[in-house]
Amino acid sequence: MSQLFGGIEAGGTKFICIVASGPDCIVEQARIPTTTPEETLRKTVEFFQPFVTARQVDSIGVACFGPVDLNPDSPTYGHITSTPKPHWSNTDVRGVIQRALRVEIAFDNDVNGAALGEFKWGANRGCDPSLYLTIGTGIGGGYILNGRPLAGMLAPEMGHIRIPHDRARDPFPGNCPFHRDCFEGLANGPAIQARFGSRGEAIPDDDPFWDVEAEYVAAALVNYILTLSPKRIVLGGGVMRREYLFPKIRRNVQALLNGYVVHPNVLADVDGYIVPPALGHLSGSLGAVALAQTG
């Protein structure tokens, strides 16, 4: 039997916990609602305890919602720092699990976890460097280079880049509390909802707003392509479940680049260059398993 690892996608709504060696060998899984840190982390520990006691698992990856402290030299390494989510500010997620189970914990943020999962087993498999972008309640990107998420001075926060905002066509001022009309402030799920007064799911496919949304996403992708030069880009998150956005985004990326990035991935095979995720709701927890394996 393959070596087993624990994987936790620690999200703001639920913790997805798995014991697995990969997507084809998931031996146990659970969804634990995110309530208080005490209750949620206690149930998480209880889920893994039998596997640890049986010495089937000695390393667990955590892909955690944030903001989180990823600096191993910091006294608050592995903590959720300041979050608007009630009860969770200054929670030592990594430390609580590590002290209860006494196993190795590989800790990263949720988007880096999903990026690593899609790189190792999903739609970005074999593509190094590659980019995973999630467009949902927030917008975040994970860049995998040399098999690992890029860790710079801090983890990237590429959802907050500045892009052109055509106020004539889209007078919405943006909803980012820090930057107002940065990419996230213009294009995340709550920004769509704020424009229409209803959830994005209720907006029909032929609403002209989707052209605007696709242009924002394309402008951001062009900036990432020119800066990071990934070999493939996976777009996940709630907004991108509207799959007919993909062709619009691809066309806009090609139009904006205008032949400048001379590579067949972008010029001839853009359908294979900007793609949906392949691991579904498990990209984060499988990414956490990959984190544990990467060490």
Instruction: Say how far apart CA 128 and CA 114 lie, in whole Å.
Output: 15
228 binds a second copy (CB under 8 A): yes
157 binds a second copy (CB under 8 A): yes
* DSSP character at residue 159: G
Q: Rule CB under 8 A: which of 137-156 touch a second copy?
A: 141, 143, 145-146, 150-156
164 binds a second copy (CB under 8 A): yes
Instruction: Say how far apart CA 160 and CA 178 lie, in whole Å.
Output: 9
Looking at beta carbons only, is 17 or 257 nearer to a second copy?
257
The window from 20-28, 35-43, 51-59, 225-233 that contacts a second copy (CB under 8 A) reads 225-233
> From the list 265, 276, 278, 293, which residue makes contact with a second copy (rule: CB under 8 A)?
265
Looking at beta carbons only, is 44 or 254 nearer to a second copy?
254
Long-range CB contact pairs, 252-261, < 8 A, 24+? 252/214, 252/215, 252/217, 252/218, 252/219, 253/218, 253/221, 253/222, 253/225, 255/218, 256/218, 256/219, 256/222, 257/222, 257/225, 261/225, 261/226
Looking at beta carbons only, is 154 or 194 nearer to a second copy?
154
Looking at beta carbons only, is 18 or 220 nearer to a second copy?
220
The window from 5-13, 25-33, 223-231, 287-295 that contacts a second copy (CB under 8 A) reads 223-231
Backbone φ and ψ for 105, nearest 5 degrees, come out as -120, 120
Nearest to 66 by CA among 292, 284, 293, 290: 284
Which residues of the shown chain bind a second copy in the complex (CB under 8 A)?
Answer: 129, 141, 143, 145-146, 150-165, 178-179, 219, 222-224, 226-231, 256-263, 265
